[in-house]
Amino acid sequence: MLAAVSWLSGVIFAAYIIAFFGGTLVGGEAYRWNEALPDLYDPASPLSTSAIGAHFVAGSILVLLGPVQLIGRLRQRIPWLHRWIGRIYVVSAAAAGVGGLAFIVGQGTIGGPLMDVGFGLYGALMVLSATMSYLHARSGRYHSHRAWAIRLFALTIGSWLYRIEYGAWFLLSRLFGSLAEFGDWFDAIMVFFFYVPNLIAAEFVIRAGRKNRTASANLSVSVFFVAASTFIAFVTLMFTTHTWGPKIASGITP
């Protein structure tokens, strides 16, 4: 269930990336990238702009292919497809990481030094996980490959979760007026929160796979998956209605 919901949300997010960023670029309106995030497009810095463009393209591939790699039956019945998707996934993860790092070095993030560090560490960990996952697979060390692949997946969904988590925060701000004013503390937390908890959860999954789980542990995992699926579906609906949907339409229409 979680894989299906995540994949559907990823499809919508990828459509937003491709339609808005790609559509405005093709239409000669790349300056509109700054509607999504300030200072993304800077005609005076073509290398940085190209790097962030590559980051977005690779990121859209990751959110589409990541959940597919979680399907156990696919790995068992069509192993060659799993391997080829894995190769594309690893290359895309490395490209997304390198592209993001190049943008940070050339342009810097809007959040300043703390965001530079948080996002830079994220990109470096993505490149490391992609490299280790590939090397272990090539060497036939499949247990280690699985561990690094899980870490890589946990990281690659971080960029997407970053937007989902901000969407949840904005939603709460509408429900509770006291949260309407966002302070620097929230942004300071988010530059690490969108991927560090993912890595912690990944380590639990890796270790749980090495031993037999009890019935209560299985129930806890099932409850977590249902809750996570419900949360992702709800926030995706809000994002699609208020942000991604209109941006998709504006990117593909003159």
| pLDDT, position 31 | 85
- The per-residue pLDDT for 14 is 80
Backbone angles phi, psi at 139, to 5 degrees: -90, 0
Instruction: Tell me how far apart the terminal alpha carbons of the chain are, to the nearest angstrom.
Output: 37
Per the CB < 8 A criterion, the answer to whether 32 and 247 are in contact is: no
Average pLDDT over residues 101-117: 87
Max Cα-Cα span within the chain: 59
Is the distance from CB of 146 to CB of 82 less than 8 angstroms?
no
Whole-number average pLDDT of the chain = 81
Q: By CB neighbour count within 10 A (0-12 exposed, 13-18 middle, 19+ buried), where does 14 fall? A: buried
Give the residue-averaged pLDDT of 162-179: 67
pLDDT score recorded for residue 141? 92
pLDDT class of 180 with cuts at 50, 70, 90: very low
114 pLDDT higher than 80: yes
Write down the pLDDT at residue 135. 94
* pLDDT score of 41 more than 90: no
Q: How confident is the model at residue 185 (pLDDT cuts 50, 70, 90)?
A: confident
How far CA 125 is from CA of 145, 155, 217, 227, in Å, comes to 15, 8, 29, 27
Tokens of 165: 């988590």
Confidence class for position 36, pLDDT limits 50, 70, 90: confident
Per-residue pLDDT, averaged over 111-134, amounts to: 90
Q: How confident is the model at residue 209 (pLDDT cuts 50, 70, 90)?
A: low
Give the pLDDT band of residue 147 (cuts 50, 70, 90): very high
Pick the more confident residue, 36 or 56: 56
pLDDT attached to residue 144: 92
**For residues 62 and 252, which has the higher predicted lDDT (pLDDT)?**
62
Overall average pLDDT of the 45-50 stretch: 86
Q: Which residues contact 131 (CB under 8 A, 6 or more apart)?
A: 94
Whether the Cβ atoms of residue 155 and residue 198 lie closer than 8 Å to each other: yes
pLDDT band at 131 (very low <50, low <70, confident <90, very high): very high
84, pLDDT greater than 70: yes
Q: What is the mean pLDDT of residues 171-177?
A: 64
**pTM of this structure:** 0.78
**Which of 33-37, 110-114, 227-231 is the least confident region?**
227-231
- Residue 117 has what pLDDT? 92
What is the pLDDT, as a whole number, of residue 182?
45
Q: How many CB atoms lie within 10 A of CB 193?
A: 16
Residues 6+ apart with CB under 8 A from 178: none
* Cα 65 to chain centroid, rounded: 11
pLDDT of 155 above 80: yes
Most confident of 60-64, 87-91, 221-225: 87-91
